[in-house]
Structure 1
Amino acid sequence: MAPTDLVDLAGHEQVVFCSDTDTGLHAVIAVHSTALGPALGGTRFHPYPTLDAAVGDVLRLSRAMSYKNALAGLAHGGGKAVIVGDPHTAKTPQLLRAYGRFVESLAGRYVTACDVGTYVPDMDVVAEETRWATGRSPERGGAGDSSVLTALGVFQGMRAAAQHLWGVPSLAGRRVGIAGVGKVGRRLVDHLVEDGAEIVVTDVDPAAVDAVRARHPDVAAAEDADVLARSPLDVFSPNALGGALDDDVVADLRATVVCGGANNQLAHPGVADLLARRGVVYTPDFLVNAGGVIQVSDELHGFDMERAAGRTQAIFDSTLAVLAAAEADGSTPAVAADRLAEERMAGGGATPWLPRSSPDVS
């Protein structure tokens, strides 16, 4: 299948292929929607085996960003970019600047940020060539590490699930299993410890587990994510790679709630139905992990952590609304979240967005 065969022209507004011979840059930028405002989404740097694989990934990710930004109440549509290559060997300042020039050429239709394989210092370099790079360092007027508010948002999603199921917006006394204690997972542990939860963690990097347990000695450790998912838990929280929930894992899952920061947690859409049939409440990942995009979007208005954190706290109310809607109409939370996002995008699509001359968009 040729890459162009993957492009859903009815669903994506624009797909841009970027190539720079001098630096070896090969990238794809996908703008799914600008119905609510300029498309916002991170840049993933990954050694895709084929261009088809890169295009397929960026199309899925950009669409998900439209839904995430809509549910977060942001004046942004969805976009995403992928740079093809091993970030450990292919990433150079020259390549990042070349990429920044492509972002700038879109005149504000796409605003970028960090994602897998790109970090705050990378966005500082990209920003040398474009006004439309967020996730920059505080020294460059940016918000810094977006995992701060990503973790806060996931915690708010958990609190909402607890309110929905148990009538109390707290995880105190509940057993929470966290798979992946990198940037987001370790910050999530801090929130849960303060809330009084019993916590079990795992990570492919033993040093990450050791760091969490050194900070919180009462936190237990599981052998791996599969063992953790099959343990008696109140909440299972995937915070590493996507696809953590497949048919086999769901069949053995003993948790009552799934709520985590990882993107694309469901191996396929049917997993949402499997979870519902087993009585497991799933808080859609693109709903609860929106704290990071809320944080970087705030840079466009002169970053204010208190303001961004306040918007992230609202994930509690959004999650409650989605869970209530799903219960009321007998659908899954995934379907209810999609419907709410689509309603917001449709409502915002009457007036087309026009790029401004500066990044102070609203």
Structure 2
Amino acid sequence: MQVSTTVKADTEMKAGDSSADTSSGIEFDYQLETLDCHDIPGFAGHELVIACNDAKTGLRAFIAIHNTSLGQALGGCRMWRYASDEEALTDALRLSQGMSYKHAVADTQQGGGKAVIVGDPRRDKSDALFQAFGRFVDSLGGQYVTAEDVGVSVDDMVSVRQQTKHVAGLPTSMGSSGDPSPVTAYGVYCGIQAAVALKQRRPHDVHARLDNVTVAVQGVGNVGYALCRHLHNAGAKLVVTDVHQSNVTRACIEFSATSVDPEAIYDVSADVFAPCALGGTVNSQAVLRLKSAIVAGAANNQLAEPAVAKTLTDRNILYAPDYVINAGGIINISYEKQGYNLDKAMRHTERIGETLTEIFQRANTEGISTAEVADHIAQERLGASTSRP
């Protein structure tokens, strides 16, 4: 893999769409490079990967489009304190591939793409930086539609919209779907209900009470906080942790949650472990420490490596594949293309529980992990689409 973020692109940036407001007066110094990622194991199938840099605003970003056989690429933009450009690029590739699988299983009729911005979301944001990012999105001519993700807000997407029309998840006042976090959280809640129902050997019911269920929530930011509200309202007992103490304090006050240090969350005796922070937290060491019968949360790329799925299965821990259970937000945003309707989006999101129930049953029948079943379903749908005449 070669990552160069100082070489100007061979082709010029495409002119902005007439519907985008490009009269902000902000000057940009674009540097765009198409990257060849075919030598990175596991990521050779990406359709397009670009490095985006703007010296005037300090923007350093990557946009990865994995697969558009089912439709236009749609995926959020993440901003994080990556240690290197290589780390950021790898995250973009993993996330965009996950988006293809997520769209395929969730039946949104969209393709998979993702963007990451290198920087501290609490310190390095600016209107100009997100406008610069918007110009790079616009240069792709609609191949990729962006939205908010970890470290990026609805307000940031408003800045992006000043430079491109290819953005979703804008405020409801602009005729869009707004912050997708609440719907993501609701989808995770539906998935937890399905997993608990299976463990309790009862029919899945999204409205069931969870009075005797303890959930250990790792990360109580926007999605984790909204998930805690659903769980608390259903009677569940909550144990929470977060790297930001203010998030923990809020959850403890509002939901009568118990808090533990971040590293101690793996040792909590709970029915459900819900990873809702960044990915890779469920690794081979953490799995051996878990005292939960279920792993079901909102984070992307929860498993540090594929082998962890088998370890979970061997330990009789039911795993709700991350890109299946956390699809609510992208389902919600996908409804913008047909005239946004919250009721339809929520009904579609509730199907996450039904989909997971099918995955759990198929995994049991076939004697393989739930992660493998989810991947097979996604690959079957992606393959069926690419094989059509």
Q: TM-score, normalised by structure 2?
A: 0.85
Question: How far 1:10 sits from its partner (Å)?
Answer: 4.3
Say whether 1:277 aligns with 2:314. yes
User: 1:118-129 maps to which residues of 2 (within 5 A)?
Assistant: 118-129=152-163
Which moves more between the two structures, 1-10 or 23-32?
A: 1-10
CA distance in 2, matches of 1:85, 1:188: 27
Q: CA RMSD in A?
A: 1.9
Say whether 1:44 aligns with 2:78. yes
Name the SS for the 2:217 alignment partner: strand
CA distance in 1, matches of 2:225, 2:133: 31
CA distance in 2, matches of 1:122, 1:10: 31
Say whether 1:156 aligns with 2:190. yes
> Alpha-carbon deviations, 1:141-196, whole Å to 9, x = none?
22222111111111111111122222233433122111222211221122112222
Name the SS for the 1:243 alignment partner: coil
Name the SS for the 2:116 alignment partner: strand
Cα contact 2:79–2:116 (8 A) shared by 1: yes
Which moves more between the two structures, 275-284 or 41-50?
A: 41-50
Question: How far 1:123 sits from its partner (Å)?
Answer: 0.5
> Alpha-carbon deviations, 1:12-63, whole Å to 9, x = none?
0111222333333332211100010001111122343332222211111110
> Alpha-carbon deviations, 1:252-279, whole Å to 9, x = none?
2111001001111112111111111111
Cα contact 1:250–1:275 (8 A) shared by 2: yes
Amino acid at match of 1:345: L
Give the structure, 1 or 2, with the largest relative contact order (CA under 8 Å, sep 6 or more). Answer: 1
Which moves more between the two structures, 97-106 or 63-72?
A: 97-106
The gaps in structure 2 that reach 5 residues or longer are 4-34
User: 1:204-283 maps to which residues of 2 (within 5 A)?
Assistant: 204-217=243-256, 219=257, 221-283=258-320
The aligned residue for residue 2 of structure 2 is: 2
The aligned residue for residue 103 of structure 2 is: 69
CA distance in 2, matches of 1:287, 1:147: 15
Amino acid at match of 1:118: V
Amino acid at match of 2:196: A
The aligned residue for residue 363 of structure 2 is: 326
CA distance in 1, matches of 2:158, 2:345: 20
The aligned residue for residue 82 of structure 1 is: 116
Q: Which of 188, 191, 198 is equivalent to 2:237?
A: 198
CA distance in 1, matches of 2:251, 2:55: 44
> Alpha-carbon deviations, 1:316-354, whole Å to 9, x = none?
1111111111111111000000000111111222459xx
Cα contact 2:252–2:259 (8 A) shared by 1: no
Amino acid at match of 1:74: T
CA distance in 2, matches of 1:87, 1:173: 38
Name the SS for the 1:314 alignment partner: helix
Q: Which of 331, 335, 339 is equivalent to 2:376?
A: 339
Cα contact 1:226–1:249 (8 A) shared by 2: no
Amino acid at match of 1:133: V
CA distance in 1, matches of 2:368, 2:82: 35
Which moves more between the two structures, 142-151 or 171-180?
A: 171-180
The gaps in structure 1 that reach 5 residues or longer are 353-362
CA distance in 2, matches of 1:272, 1:146: 28
CA distance in 2, matches of 1:334, 1:317: 16
Q: Which of 43, 57, 62 is equivalent to 1:28?
A: 62
Amino acid at match of 1:307: K
Question: How far 1:76 sits from its partner (Å)?
Answer: 0.6
CA distance in 1, matches of 2:290, 2:80: 31
CA distance in 2, matches of 1:26, 1:194: 41
The aligned residue for residue 302 of structure 1 is: 339
CA distance in 2, matches of 1:45, 1:240: 13
Cα contact 1:34–1:77 (8 A) shared by 2: yes
Name the SS for the 1:107 alignment partner: coil
Name the SS for the 2:148 alignment partner: coil
Q: Which of 149, 159, 181 is equivalent to 2:220?
A: 181
Amino acid at match of 1:203: D
Cα contact 1:6–1:55 (8 A) shared by 2: no
Name the SS for the 2:147 alignment partner: coil
Cα contact 2:146–2:168 (8 A) shared by 1: yes
Cα contact 2:63–2:114 (8 A) shared by 1: yes
Cα contact 1:113–1:135 (8 A) shared by 2: yes
Amino acid at match of 2:234: D
Cα 1:56–1:223 change in 2 (3 A) is: same
When the two structures are aligned, how many residues end up with a matched partner?
A: 350
Name the SS for the 2:240 alignment partner: strand
Q: TM-score, normalised by structure 1?
A: 0.91
CA distance in 2, matches of 1:175, 1:70: 31
